[in-house]
Protein backbone atom coordinates (compact mmCIF):
# COMPACT_ATOMS: atom_id res chain seq x y z
CA UNK A 1 0.00 0.00 0.00
CA UNK A 2 1.27 3.44 -0.96
CA UNK A 3 0.13 6.92 0.01
CA UNK A 4 -2.51 8.10 -2.43
CA UNK A 5 -5.22 10.70 -2.97
CA UNK A 6 -8.83 9.59 -2.79
CA UNK A 7 -12.11 11.36 -3.49
CA UNK A 8 -15.60 11.05 -2.01
CA UNK A 9 -18.12 12.64 -4.35
CA UNK A 10 -21.32 14.39 -3.30
CA UNK A 11 -24.11 14.45 -5.91
CA UNK A 12 -27.71 15.56 -6.25
CA UNK A 13 -29.04 12.74 -8.39
CA UNK A 14 -32.51 13.10 -9.93
CA UNK A 15 -34.90 10.88 -11.94
CA UNK A 16 -32.80 11.39 -15.11
CA UNK A 17 -30.14 8.79 -15.92
CA UNK A 18 -28.21 10.75 -18.55
CA UNK A 19 -28.19 13.94 -16.47
CA UNK A 20 -26.85 12.05 -13.44
CA UNK A 21 -24.08 10.34 -15.37
CA UNK A 22 -23.03 13.68 -16.86
CA UNK A 23 -22.95 15.21 -13.37
CA UNK A 24 -20.93 12.25 -12.10
CA UNK A 25 -18.34 12.57 -14.86
CA UNK A 26 -17.91 16.29 -14.24
CA UNK A 27 -17.23 15.64 -10.57
CA UNK A 28 -14.93 12.71 -11.34
CA UNK A 29 -12.95 14.94 -13.69
CA UNK A 30 -12.71 17.56 -10.93
CA UNK A 31 -11.44 14.92 -8.50
CA UNK A 32 -8.82 13.66 -10.94
CA UNK A 33 -7.57 17.19 -11.59
CA UNK A 34 -6.94 17.35 -7.83
CA UNK A 35 -4.85 14.20 -7.98
CA UNK A 36 -7.36 11.49 -7.02
CA UNK A 37 -6.48 7.94 -8.01
CA UNK A 38 -9.34 6.23 -6.16
CA UNK A 39 -12.74 7.87 -6.70
CA UNK A 40 -16.02 6.95 -5.01
CA UNK A 41 -19.60 7.71 -6.10
CA UNK A 42 -22.60 7.69 -3.73
CA UNK A 43 -25.51 5.31 -3.48
CA UNK A 44 -28.11 5.90 -6.23
CA UNK A 45 -25.60 7.85 -8.30
CA UNK A 46 -27.25 7.02 -11.67
CA UNK A 47 -30.88 7.49 -10.60
CA UNK A 48 -32.81 8.82 -7.63
CA UNK A 49 -36.56 8.97 -8.21
CA UNK A 50 -39.85 7.29 -7.39
CA UNK A 51 -39.61 3.54 -6.86
CA UNK A 52 -41.99 2.81 -9.75
CA UNK A 53 -39.82 4.83 -12.12
CA UNK A 54 -36.69 3.10 -10.89
CA UNK A 55 -38.18 -0.33 -11.39
CA UNK A 56 -39.47 0.42 -14.89
CA UNK A 57 -35.98 1.58 -15.91
CA UNK A 58 -33.92 -0.82 -13.80
CA UNK A 59 -32.47 -2.83 -16.68
CA UNK A 60 -31.42 0.30 -18.54
CA UNK A 61 -29.98 1.88 -15.38
CA UNK A 62 -27.95 -1.23 -14.56
CA UNK A 63 -26.57 -1.54 -18.10
CA UNK A 64 -25.70 2.13 -18.36
CA UNK A 65 -24.13 2.22 -14.88
CA UNK A 66 -21.88 -0.77 -15.52
CA UNK A 67 -20.78 0.64 -18.89
CA UNK A 68 -20.18 4.07 -17.36
CA UNK A 69 -18.01 2.75 -14.51
CA UNK A 70 -15.91 0.60 -16.83
CA UNK A 71 -15.47 3.41 -19.35
CA UNK A 72 -14.53 5.99 -16.71
CA UNK A 73 -12.03 3.65 -15.03
CA UNK A 74 -10.29 2.96 -18.33
CA UNK A 75 -10.47 6.52 -19.62
CA UNK A 76 -8.94 8.10 -16.52
CA UNK A 77 -6.91 5.06 -15.38
CA UNK A 78 -8.43 5.12 -11.91
CA UNK A 79 -10.10 2.73 -9.52
CA UNK A 80 -13.73 3.74 -9.05
CA UNK A 81 -16.53 2.74 -6.70
CA UNK A 82 -20.07 2.85 -8.02
CA UNK A 83 -21.78 3.23 -4.65
CA UNK A 84 -25.19 1.82 -5.47
CA UNK A 85 -27.39 1.12 -8.48
CA UNK A 86 -30.30 -1.24 -9.18
CA UNK A 87 -29.63 -4.61 -10.80
CA UNK A 88 -32.75 -6.67 -11.64
CA UNK A 89 -33.27 -10.06 -10.00
CA UNK A 90 -35.26 -12.98 -11.40
CA UNK A 91 -38.20 -12.39 -9.05
CA UNK A 92 -39.18 -8.88 -10.10
CA UNK A 93 -37.09 -6.95 -7.59
CA UNK A 94 -33.59 -5.47 -7.79
CA UNK A 95 -30.39 -5.74 -5.82
CA UNK A 96 -28.84 -2.48 -4.63
CA UNK A 97 -25.35 -3.13 -5.95
CA UNK A 98 -22.06 -1.41 -5.17
CA UNK A 99 -19.17 -2.32 -7.42
CA UNK A 100 -15.47 -1.54 -7.45
CA UNK A 101 -13.81 -1.25 -10.86
CA UNK A 102 -10.05 -1.25 -11.45
CA UNK A 103 -8.21 0.84 -14.08
CA UNK A 104 -8.50 -1.93 -16.68
CA UNK A 105 -12.29 -1.83 -16.40
CA UNK A 106 -12.47 -5.09 -14.45
CA UNK A 107 -15.01 -5.39 -11.63
CA UNK A 108 -12.96 -6.60 -8.66
CA UNK A 109 -15.69 -6.50 -5.99
CA UNK A 110 -19.49 -6.60 -6.15
CA UNK A 111 -21.59 -6.23 -3.03
CA UNK A 112 -25.37 -6.51 -2.80
CA UNK A 113 -26.65 -4.30 0.03
CA UNK A 114 -27.76 -6.48 2.93
CA UNK A 115 -29.48 -4.08 5.33
CA UNK A 116 -32.56 -2.49 3.76
CA UNK A 117 -33.97 0.85 4.89
CA UNK A 118 -37.52 0.18 6.12
CA UNK A 119 -38.03 3.09 8.48
CA UNK A 120 -40.66 5.63 9.56
CA UNK A 121 -38.80 8.93 9.95
CA UNK A 122 -40.12 11.45 12.52
CA UNK A 123 -40.31 14.11 9.78
CA UNK A 124 -43.27 12.21 8.31
CA UNK A 125 -41.46 10.36 5.53
CA UNK A 126 -41.73 6.58 5.28
CA UNK A 127 -39.15 4.46 3.48
CA UNK A 128 -39.67 0.83 2.44
CA UNK A 129 -36.58 -0.20 0.51
CA UNK A 130 -37.56 -3.87 0.78
CA UNK A 131 -40.65 -3.20 -1.34
CA UNK A 132 -38.50 -3.16 -4.47
CA UNK A 133 -35.04 -4.31 -3.31
CA UNK A 134 -33.90 -7.84 -2.53
CA UNK A 135 -31.51 -7.98 0.43
CA UNK A 136 -28.08 -9.38 -0.26
CA UNK A 137 -27.24 -12.49 1.75
CA UNK A 138 -23.44 -12.47 1.55
CA UNK A 139 -21.06 -10.53 3.76
CA UNK A 140 -18.91 -8.19 1.67
CA UNK A 141 -15.44 -9.40 0.84
CA UNK A 142 -12.23 -7.43 1.29
CA UNK A 143 -10.32 -6.58 -1.86
CA UNK A 144 -6.55 -6.45 -1.46
CA UNK A 145 -4.89 -3.91 -3.73
CA UNK A 146 -1.13 -3.48 -3.71
CA UNK A 147 -1.59 0.23 -4.41
CA UNK A 148 -4.62 1.12 -2.28
CA UNK A 149 -4.54 -1.37 0.59
CA UNK A 150 -7.30 -3.69 1.79
CA UNK A 151 -10.67 -2.26 0.81
CA UNK A 152 -14.05 -3.12 2.35
CA UNK A 153 -17.42 -2.15 0.87
CA UNK A 154 -20.74 -1.35 2.53
CA UNK A 155 -23.77 0.74 1.54
CA UNK A 156 -25.61 3.47 3.49
CA UNK A 157 -27.91 1.85 6.10
CA UNK A 158 -25.20 -0.78 6.71
CA UNK A 159 -23.34 1.88 8.72
CA UNK A 160 -25.74 1.27 11.64
CA UNK A 161 -24.64 -2.37 11.93
CA UNK A 162 -21.11 -2.45 13.39
CA UNK A 163 -20.82 -6.23 13.10
CA UNK A 164 -20.48 -5.86 9.32
CA UNK A 165 -17.47 -3.57 9.75
CA UNK A 166 -15.96 -5.80 12.43
CA UNK A 167 -16.15 -8.59 9.86
CA UNK A 168 -14.34 -6.41 7.33
CA UNK A 169 -11.62 -5.36 9.75
CA UNK A 170 -11.15 -8.95 10.89
CA UNK A 171 -10.53 -9.81 7.24
CA UNK A 172 -7.81 -7.18 7.09
CA UNK A 173 -9.67 -4.08 5.86
CA UNK A 174 -7.73 -0.83 6.13
CA UNK A 175 -10.14 1.38 4.16
CA UNK A 176 -13.94 1.20 4.48
CA UNK A 177 -16.35 2.55 1.86
CA UNK A 178 -19.74 3.88 3.00
CA UNK A 179 -21.53 5.27 -0.09
CA UNK A 180 -24.88 6.69 0.98
CA UNK A 181 -28.09 8.58 0.32
CA UNK A 182 -28.68 9.42 4.00
CA UNK A 183 -31.91 11.23 4.76
CA UNK A 184 -31.64 14.89 5.73
CA UNK A 185 -33.50 14.26 9.00
CA UNK A 186 -31.35 11.39 10.27
CA UNK A 187 -28.15 12.67 8.73
CA UNK A 188 -27.97 15.83 10.79
CA UNK A 189 -27.76 13.76 13.99
CA UNK A 190 -26.26 10.43 13.01
CA UNK A 191 -24.19 10.55 9.81
CA UNK A 192 -20.94 12.05 11.05
CA UNK A 193 -20.88 10.27 14.40
CA UNK A 194 -21.53 6.86 12.80
CA UNK A 195 -18.73 7.36 10.28
CA UNK A 196 -16.35 8.39 13.02
CA UNK A 197 -17.38 5.41 15.16
CA UNK A 198 -16.76 2.94 12.34
CA UNK A 199 -13.34 4.53 11.70
CA UNK A 200 -12.30 4.62 15.36
CA UNK A 201 -13.47 1.17 16.43
CA UNK A 202 -11.84 -0.51 13.41
CA UNK A 203 -8.84 1.84 13.12
CA UNK A 204 -9.59 2.24 9.42
CA UNK A 205 -9.92 5.09 6.99
CA UNK A 206 -13.56 5.67 6.01
CA UNK A 207 -14.48 7.05 2.59
CA UNK A 208 -18.13 8.08 2.42
CA UNK A 209 -19.52 9.60 -0.81
CA UNK A 210 -23.03 10.96 -0.37
CA UNK A 211 -26.18 12.27 -1.97
CA UNK A 212 -27.20 15.84 -1.08
CA UNK A 213 -30.12 18.23 -1.51
CA UNK A 214 -33.59 17.84 -3.03
CA UNK A 215 -34.06 15.01 -5.52
CA UNK A 216 -37.79 14.70 -6.18
CA UNK A 217 -40.96 15.32 -4.20
CA UNK A 218 -40.10 15.32 -0.49
CA UNK A 219 -36.91 13.27 -0.89
CA UNK A 220 -34.04 15.24 0.61
CA UNK A 221 -30.61 13.94 1.59
CA UNK A 222 -28.04 15.15 4.07
CA UNK A 223 -24.89 15.46 1.95
CA UNK A 224 -21.54 15.86 3.70
CA UNK A 225 -19.50 13.37 1.71
CA UNK A 226 -16.57 12.72 4.03
CA UNK A 227 -13.20 11.11 4.44
CA UNK A 228 -12.34 10.14 8.02
CA UNK A 229 -8.97 8.95 9.28
CA UNK A 230 -8.38 5.96 11.64
CA UNK A 231 -8.31 8.27 14.67
CA UNK A 232 -11.74 9.62 13.77
CA UNK A 233 -10.50 12.95 12.40
CA UNK A 234 -12.53 14.33 9.50
CA UNK A 235 -10.05 15.02 6.73
CA UNK A 236 -12.52 16.36 4.17
CA UNK A 237 -16.24 17.24 4.04
CA UNK A 238 -18.22 18.56 1.07
CA UNK A 239 -20.89 20.20 3.21
CA UNK A 240 -24.42 20.22 1.80
CA UNK A 241 -23.52 21.03 -1.82
CA UNK A 242 -22.46 18.73 -4.67
CA UNK A 243 -18.70 18.53 -4.81
CA UNK A 244 -15.61 16.49 -4.05
CA UNK A 245 -13.99 15.66 -0.71
CA UNK A 246 -10.27 15.06 -1.28
CA UNK A 247 -7.76 13.58 1.17
CA UNK A 248 -4.64 11.46 1.38
CA UNK A 249 -4.70 7.85 2.53
CA UNK A 250 -1.41 7.42 4.39
CA UNK A 251 -0.29 3.88 5.34
CA UNK A 252 2.31 5.22 7.78
CA UNK A 253 -0.39 7.11 9.69
CA UNK A 254 -2.60 4.01 9.65
CA UNK A 255 0.20 1.88 11.11
CA UNK A 256 0.96 4.53 13.73
CA UNK A 257 -2.66 4.69 14.92
CA UNK A 258 -2.92 0.91 15.06
CA UNK A 259 0.32 0.72 17.03
CA UNK A 260 -0.78 3.42 19.51
CA UNK A 261 -4.33 2.07 19.86
CA UNK A 262 -4.13 -1.71 19.22
CA UNK A 263 -7.78 -2.36 20.05
CA UNK A 264 -8.22 -4.85 17.22
CA UNK A 265 -5.66 -7.06 18.97
CA UNK A 266 -7.41 -6.74 22.33
CA UNK A 267 -10.75 -8.19 21.34
CA UNK A 268 -12.06 -10.70 23.88
CA UNK A 269 -15.39 -11.72 22.34
CA UNK A 270 -15.13 -12.75 18.71
Catalytic residue among 43, 66, 112, 174: 43
Instruction: Check if the beta carbon of residue 68 is closer than 8 Å to that of residue 105.
Output: no
Catalytic residue among 54, 66, 112, 113: 113
Catalytic-residue membership of 43: yes
Instruction: Check if the beta carbon of residue 226 is closer than 8 Å to that of residue 206.
Output: yes
Question: What CA–CA distance (Å, rounded) separates 128 from 7?
Answer: 30
Determine the Cα angle at 97 with ends 114 and 61, to 5°: 140
Neighbours of 33 (CB within 10 A): 9
Determine the Cα angle at 238 with ends 75 and 24, to 5°: 30
Catalytic-residue membership of 50: no
Question: What CA–CA distance (Å, rounded) separates 99 from 82?
Answer: 5
Catalytic residue among 66, 70, 156, 174: 156
Spatial strand order of the sheet with 175-177 comes to: 142-145, 149-153, 175-177, 205-208, 226-228, 234-237
Catalytic-residue membership of 204: no
Cα–Cα distances (Å) from 4 to 17, 78, 114, in that order, read: 31, 12, 30
Catalytic residues: 43, 113, 156
Amino acid sequence: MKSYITAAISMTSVPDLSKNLSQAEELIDLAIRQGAELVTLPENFPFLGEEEEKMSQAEAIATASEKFLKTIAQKYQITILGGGYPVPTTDGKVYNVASLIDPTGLEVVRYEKAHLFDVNIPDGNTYRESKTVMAGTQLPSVYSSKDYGNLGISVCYDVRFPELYRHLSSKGAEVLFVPAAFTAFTGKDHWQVLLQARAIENTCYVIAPAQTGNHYGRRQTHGHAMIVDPWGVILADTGDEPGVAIAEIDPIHLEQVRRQMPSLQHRVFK
